[in-house]
Amino acid sequence: MSGFEPEVDPWALSLVARVEREPLPTHTGVLIAAARAVVLLLDDPRTTDPEGELHDAVQAWRDRRIRKICRRARGAKWDRTAGLPHVEASHGDAVVRVFAPHPRDEVPPALKPLQVGGLDLTDPEELRAPGPDGLLTIRLSPGVTMTTGKAAAQVGHAAQLAFERLPAARVDPWRAAGFPVRVVTGAPVLEAAGRIDVRDGGFTEVAPGTVTASAGFEGTV
């Protein structure tokens, strides 16, 4: 048994990564952009204002399991997604848009034809983890194999939970800095009280209950 109750009326947050043939984004670039885009959506006035156009949809989704689905698009299909309310973040050549949550089986027409599975990018050997102190460090669990699309959803979960649950004294300076994020692979270095762990529901790619990522402020904010 997974330890997770069956979902009733599941909702999902759609992430769309722009994956053109040239330049091809890096795996880590997509993850950083995805994590930032999720938090920027949560902090957007359209979400935080009770009268905002994203508020009700985000609230309905947050009241359920925070399922995220990562799609990919290029060319005209990417361009068509711009007509939906969204937040966009980038890192290097990677660009990710996050859209208003929706019932899982009621995908907006502009997103429905976009491929969900199979996004599996790579990083150059010389890639270095960016970051001054003050950013959120998300650590992907060693030995847990995930495609780029799956990992993007997991770092999105990690960033969201850090934004929602870690102390305001750490989150507020992070917000003021523009929500910078570093993504690395490695075991947690912070004590449990100072970090957020993401435990997967086991719907795709990994076994139920797998800890896929952790997040915390490892430097001085």
Domain definitions of the chain by residue range: 11-108+130-216
pLDDT value, residue 130: 57
Mean pLDDT by 10 residues, the chain (221 residues): 58 95 93 97 98 96 90 96 96 96 93 88 73 79 92 95 95 94 93 91 77 88 43
pLDDT value, residue 106: 92
Q: How many CB atoms lie within 10 A of CB 112?
A: 10
Residue 148 CA to residue 96 CA, distance in Å, equals: 12
